[in-house]
Amino acid sequence: MRSVLILLVFLLGGCASLRPDAGFSDVERAVEQRTGAQTMWVRSGGEPEPLRARVEALLGKPLGPQEAVQVALLNNPGLQAAYADVGIAEADLVQASRWRGPTFSFARMRRGDETEWERSVFFDVLGLLTIPLSVAGEEARFAAAKDRAAAEALRVALDTRKAWFSAVAARESARYMAQVKEAAEASAILAQRMASVGNWSKLNHAREQAFYAEATAQFARASQAEASARERLARLMGLWGEGLKFSLPERLPDLPPTPKAAGSDFESQALAQRLDVQAARRDTEALAKALNLTNATRFISMIDFGVHSKSETGQSSQRGWEIELGIPLFDFGGARAARAQRQYMQSVDRAIEAAIHARSEVRETYGAYRTSYDIAKHYRDEVIPLRKKISEEMLLRYNGMLSSVFELLADAREQVAAVNGYIDTLRDFWLAESDFQMALTGRSPTANAAPARSAAPAAPAAAGH
């Protein structure tokens, strides 16, 4: 009996306990290493004052992409709900380390004037011996839960970053579409005045009026696209009420001087850093340990050790022990073992699939990143300078009375349309750059999506003269 108690003390001494941070510090480190921003799991009912003050401080000045990501990682309620899975997994781990404990039984029987008392204590020996296997499996699941929580934080960070670029680009496009509308309005008013004195044909007058009508409609669509992009960004940052008054910069960041080199070993970097690949590996390890536990308990479903004490009226007390084995005569665990084996092989295949997808997504997103860089650079270095040169020549011709004011206005509209095109290509580059960074650290949700479309339509073609 003393040896049994010593064994119990030794095994139960290794029981896990709930940690103050629930293991969330690992998630915080993983997210900060990959995004450069901090995240926090709010476990209490109310929002901590330091967290609220930090969010308000970030919203008090124009938001950059990194500041928007920081607000989202601190304030997104859906992300907070995902973080709860880490605490649930930790609770499962602690529960797996706890022994079920002894079972007491008490019986009283009478036969005439004789009374018989029987007392027993049973210990679940099999459950005690298999605690290390159960804990090992739950530890792997706990680690996978932390990987999934960090991956969800990276997804929110990616969506927020892309929403920021889309919102700023939509703001720029709306501003330039307002310039198109103003130019069209000036041209329409001038055409109206010239037509009223007979110096302009009805056809040309109608063309200017039609262009102004189309420009007005497209300006309305661009304004709505700006509002929608801003609302999406606000949702990701978890803002409402006064928080919706946040401000954004006037324009997108400039194109980097040079793109990332294609010779870098991005695929190996992705396999080493991507959280979905790590989570797949953790799940495989957990199922492998669960398979060991299933095989260990296949032929014996129960081992109980009992201590008995029995006394009868007029007789001396009896004491002894008992071992109870549960042998499944009609179920030798073949189905359970097969199920565990197939789940393990399924997890292996999914881990291989995650690695293949990681390599493919890195190659695909880098290709999109490089292509969008080249297109934006082409607009910046070729299209925009050419449009500027044409405008300068048109102004010289107008000053020399070689072209009309309508030709000058039409050229101004075309120049604004070219600038709008550059805004779209610059936005597409930053979106592609965000996807590429995500593909290196976590699964990119847009790896197979269609290329982004312009938030605002191109300016209508200038009326002919």
Task: Count other Cβ atoms within 10 Å, centred on residue 399.
Answer: 10
pLDDT of residue 125: 59
Q: How confident is the model at residue 412 (pLDDT cuts 50, 70, 90)?
A: low
pLDDT of residue 448: 41
3-state secondary structure of 11: helix
Q: How confident is the model at residue 447 (pLDDT cuts 50, 70, 90)?
A: very low
Q: How confident is the model at residue 6 (pLDDT cuts 50, 70, 90)?
A: very low
Tell me which DSSP letter residue 48 carries.
-
Of the two residues 55 and 282, the one the predictor is more confident about is 55
pLDDT of residue 231: 93
Judge contact between 184 and 215, C-beta under 8 A: yes
Distances (CA, A) of 274 to 22, 184, 268, 344, 397: 23, 51, 10, 21, 59
3-state secondary structure of 415: helix
pLDDT over 50 (residue 456): no
Percent of the chain residues topping a pLDDT of 90 = 13
Judge contact between 430 and 252, C-beta under 8 A: yes
107-131 residue pLDDT tens: 767 766 777 777 666 666 555 655 6
Among 274, 331, 343, 321, CA closest to 300: 331
Give the distance from CA 133 to its chain's centroid. 32
Please, what's the b/e burial string for 133-144 (b: 16 or more CB within 10 A of its CB; e: otherwise)? Answer: bbbbbbbbbbbb
Query: 184 is written with which tokens?
Result: 């069209």
3-state secondary structure of 196: helix
pLDDT of residue 289: 63
Judge contact between 238 and 72, C-beta under 8 A: yes
pLDDT over 90 (residue 186): no
277-327 residue pLDDT tens: 777 776 777 666 665 555 555 444 444 545 555 556 566 666 665 555 455
pLDDT over 50 (residue 453): no
Query: 78 is written with which tokens?
Result: 């859906």
pLDDT over 50 (residue 67): yes
The Cα–Cα gap between 82 and 66 comes to: 22
Q: Which H helix or E strand runs over 127? A: helix 125-129
Of the two residues 25 and 18, the one the predictor is more confident about is 25
The Cα–Cα gap between 157 and 162 comes to: 9
261-273 residue pLDDT tens: 776 678 777 777 7
pLDDT of residue 161: 93
Judge contact between 431 and 165, C-beta under 8 A: yes
Bridge partners (DSSP) of residue 190 are none
Average pLDDT in the chain: 75
pLDDT over 70 (residue 450): no
User: What is the chain's Cα-based Rg?
Assistant: 35
The Cα–Cα gap between 119 and 106 comes to: 5
pLDDT over 80 (residue 329): no
Percent of the chain residues topping a pLDDT of 70 = 65
Q: Could you tell me the residue ranges of all domains in the chain?
A: 2-101+133-182+211-303+332-441
Indicate the pairing of strand 318-326 with strand 302-312: antiparallel
Q: Which H helix or E strand runs over 310? A: strand 302-312
Query: 283 is written with which tokens?
Result: 């799940």
Alpha helices in 48-104 (DSSP H): 49-59, 65-75, 77-96
- The values of phi and psi at residue 124, to 5°, are -80, 90
Q: Which residue is listed with tokens 């679940």?
A: 124
3-state secondary structure of 403: coil
Of the two residues 404 and 65, the one the predictor is more confident about is 65
Please, what's the b/e burial string for 251-260 (b: 16 or more CB within 10 A of its CB; e: otherwise)? Answer: ebeebeeebe
3-state secondary structure of 320: strand
Greatest C-alpha distance within the chain: 135
Residue range 198-223: mean pLDDT, rounded? 82
Domain 2-101+133-182+211-303+332-441, architecture per CATH:
Up-down Bundle (1.20)
pLDDT over 80 (residue 17): no
